[in-house]
Amino acid sequence: MKMLFPLLLISLSTTNAIAQDYAAPKTEWGVPNFHGVWKHATIMPFERSLELGEKRAYTEEEALVLEGAVQQKFDAANEPLSPDRAPPEVGEALPSLGNYDLFWREDAKFIPTIDGEFRTSAITDPPNGRMPTRVAGFSERMNARPANRRGRNSDGPEGRGLGERCLLNGNFGSPVMRPSIYNSHLLFNQSPGYISITTEMAHDTRIIKITDDHNPAAQTQRKWMGSSIGRWEGDTLVVETMHFNNWQTLYGVPTENLTVVETFRRDSNNKMIYGFTVNDPTVFTSQFSGEYALSRINEEIYEYACHEGNYGMTGILGGARRLEQLGLEP
């Protein structure tokens, strides 16, 4: 083990030098080629643990220990169950995996480096690696929103969550894109005036037009994933997204006044650095920024068959109507 870390440090230094000199392959029309499938997976959390304070990155030794612990946990969870095991005690909590066992899950077991660092969180600014505090009066405004009133979600299918309606599943494809426990592949397609990003989770596709201005109609015809426009700054794609549908949320907060600026740059043949800056002065006391690393893979993405919510919609709404007949609040 004593010999391992110097070798890794040499390897990391070499990788950094290669990344600085790396020239991304170009499309036929002369811009960096992002086409292909990229995996969005890491054990790095979105927000930094409070006990780490302003520690931006782990040492290489710390990162190896963390990755080893995750692998050990995975191996233990993957052990076959004994047919002679005793039944669970009454009231005993079931395993956290629930009905999503390791056959379905595809948890990451590594921390990909970003500019040579093993980051402790995706967020890097503010320095504590955490989302800023909410503005004064935010909680009161949230409680007053119709979308948060009890009972509204049972009025009809339009009142159910976007995931249950199989319309949109969190922020896996819309800004800020985040990793998933499975279906974490992203397909990039390019043409001279557009780039599209299709996420395997819920099979959402975001179309980014290469232009300087948002379509004026986007202010009133608000899409689930907002209006995204892109421009090239050297070999970096800069994407600005705003005018989100007011049903969409970002980590539980509304997005109607949200602006997200994303950056995409190839760091090597098999790595893309995805950056983001979030700004909404009606929600956060300051903007915040961060980065993820995407890994290029030679795999396909498959259609995400989302049936559970639709299949159960009749029962969900029927149960709500029955509660109303009994004089109870759904």
Give me the residue spans of the domains in the chain.
33-58+112-309
Token pair 């503005």 in the structure block, residue: 135
Residue 77: the pLDDT is 77
pTM for this model (two decimals): 0.85
Residue 9: the pLDDT is 39
Residue 171: the pLDDT is 73
For residue 256, how many C-alpha atoms fall within 13 Å in the half-sphere facing its CB? 7
Instruction: Give the β-pairing of 259-268 and 236-242.
Output: antiparallel
pLDDT tens sequence across 133-171? 999 998 888 877 665 544 457 788 888 877 777 787 777
- How many helices (H) does the chain have, and how many strands (E)? 4, 14
Helix, strand or coil, per DSSP, at residue 172: coil
Spatial CB neighbours of 185, under 8 Å, sequence gap ≥ 6: 37, 38, 39, 40, 199, 200, 297, 299, 301
Residue 11: the pLDDT is 40
User: Sign (positive/negative) of CA torsion 44, 49, 55, 60?
Assistant: negative
Residue 12: the pLDDT is 42
| Displacement of CA 330 from its chain's centroid (Å) | 32
Residue 26: the pLDDT is 97
Distance in angstroms (rounded) separating the CA atoms of residues 181 and 105: 6
- Give the other-Cβ count within 10 Å of 284's Cβ: 18
Distance in angstroms (rounded) separating the CA atoms of residues 133 and 101: 35
Residue 303: the pLDDT is 81
Helix, strand or coil, per DSSP, at residue 261: strand
Residue 79: the pLDDT is 80
* CB contact burial 43-76 (16+ within 10 A = b; e otherwise): bbebbbeeeeeebbbbebeebbebbeebeeeeee
Instruction: Retrieve residue 199's tokens.
Output: 């996420």
Residue 3: the pLDDT is 36
Kindly state the helix (H) or strand (E) to which residue 77 belongs, with its residue range. Answer: helix 60-77
CB 306, CB 312: distance < 8 Å: no
Residue 173: the pLDDT is 78
Instruction: Give the β-pairing of 57-58 and 194-199.
Output: unpaired
Instruction: Retrieve residue 178's tokens.
Output: 């985040």
Those residues of the chain that have pLDDT short of 50 are 1-18, 149-151
Spatial CB neighbours of 289, under 8 Å, sequence gap ≥ 6: 123, 124, 125, 275, 276, 277, 278
Residue 14: the pLDDT is 40
